[in-house]
Amino acid sequence: MLEFDKTPSYQSVRDAAEVLDGVVVRTPLLESPALNEKLGGRLLLKCETLQYTGSFKFRGAYNTISRLSDEQKEKGVFAYSSGNHAQGVALSAKLLGIEATILMPEDTPAIKLANTRGYGAHVVTYNRYEENREEIGKQIADEHGYTLIKPYDNYFVISGQGTTGIEIHEQLVDRKLEADFCVCPAGGGGLIAGISLALRELSPETQTFSAEPEYFDDTRRSLELGQRVENEPGHRSICDAIVTPTPGEITFGVNKTTLGGGFSVSEDEVREAMRCAFHYFKCVVEPGGAVALAAILSDEIDIAGKTAVAVASGGNVDPALYAEILAQPS
């Protein structure tokens, strides 16, 4: 049986890159001369919005599920997710001929629910504000013998997500560039943990920072205090993809050693970043995927004379919400 609770490393990220070679999309690193002129520095956008299923989550899901034993594959897999991990698990399972059951919040954007079902997964919903997904998930997985694929606290998931960081480095090298900063969205912290492991090895001069929506900046506050803290209950955010109660245990163990800090952005700043991604990069970015770009645009980081990478982690935005945001004046 695979050990999911080990601490990932650069080598595990490199191993994942071999598994995912030819499976995942090598997503583009885009640049806008017009926006660079406005910012006084170079900003590059890593568009995981163009990954299969519309987010980076496919990387970690496939890296994990493809390694399961025949017995585990026969019994099926289970995951809980607000949408992007759900789609990554559902597609990976479909490609590998495995049944998947997914627990999703009942207020998940319709596009994410439809896509997850479209990949052949069985979807069960719950109330994210009144029920605990980990408790429900454990009960379902235990009852049916499913293998639980956690969205971030999983050695192979984190390692798979980290292949994004390898690509960023290679794409910068192709342009004869080195990034001063890399800013990445953080929910449970799996993507940024994997990316920071890769960049610490490949580009040690690059500082990696987390970005989160206000009231859900548990990674930022945990980094400042040196221990995992929870978000205060009762708040809501349009950034549904990265609304988590606290950083993951494995992910924070990595991030507290690899990150330079974290930033928190407002809902208005997120909306502006989504408009910016559309106008300057012609890229559709969902709210949770836009927080890194929002942090840079809000002057949280001064990139004048420097080079920065913002990770756009997903593009699965509700069409009505997206139209409403684009219609608002900048």
Give the position of tokens 């859900």: 216
Task: Please answer whether residues 116 and 79 qualify as being in contact, where contact means their C-beta atoms are separated by less than 8 angstroms.
Answer: no
Torsion angle of alpha carbons 264, 268, 272, 275, nearest 10°?
A: 120
- Of 27-31, 111-115, 122-126, 159-163, the range with the lowest mean pLDDT is 111-115
128 pLDDT band (50/70/90 cuts)? confident
Domains 10-55+157-327 and 58-153 fall in the same CATH topology:
yes
Range 263-291 average pLDDT: 98
Residue 129 scores a pLDDT above 90: no
- Please report the pLDDT score of residue 10 as a whole number: 98
- Please report the pLDDT score of residue 217 as a whole number: 98
- Please report the pLDDT score of residue 130 as a whole number: 86
The class that CATH gives domain 10-55+157-327 is alpha beta
- Please report the pLDDT score of residue 82 as a whole number: 79
111 pLDDT band (50/70/90 cuts)? confident
Residue 83 scores a pLDDT above 90: no
Residue 235 scores a pLDDT above 90: yes
Helix (H) or strand (E) holding 80: strand 77-80
- Please report the pLDDT score of residue 138 as a whole number: 87
Give the position of tokens 């560039």: 177
- Please report the pLDDT score of residue 212 as a whole number: 98
216 pLDDT band (50/70/90 cuts)? very high
Q: Where are the domains of the chain?
A: 10-55+157-327, 58-153
Residue 109 scores a pLDDT above 90: no
Range 256-282 average pLDDT: 98
How is 170-233 classified by DSSP, letter by letter?
A: HHHHHTT---SEEEEE-SSSHHHHHHHHHHHHH-TT-EEEEEEETT--HHHHHHHHTS--PPPT
Written as six digits, the tokens of 77 are 């897999």
The pLDDT tens digits for 40-75 are: 999 999 999 999 999 999 999 999 999 999 999 999
The class that CATH gives domain 58-153 is alpha beta
Residue 1 scores a pLDDT above 80: no
Residue 299 scores a pLDDT above 90: no
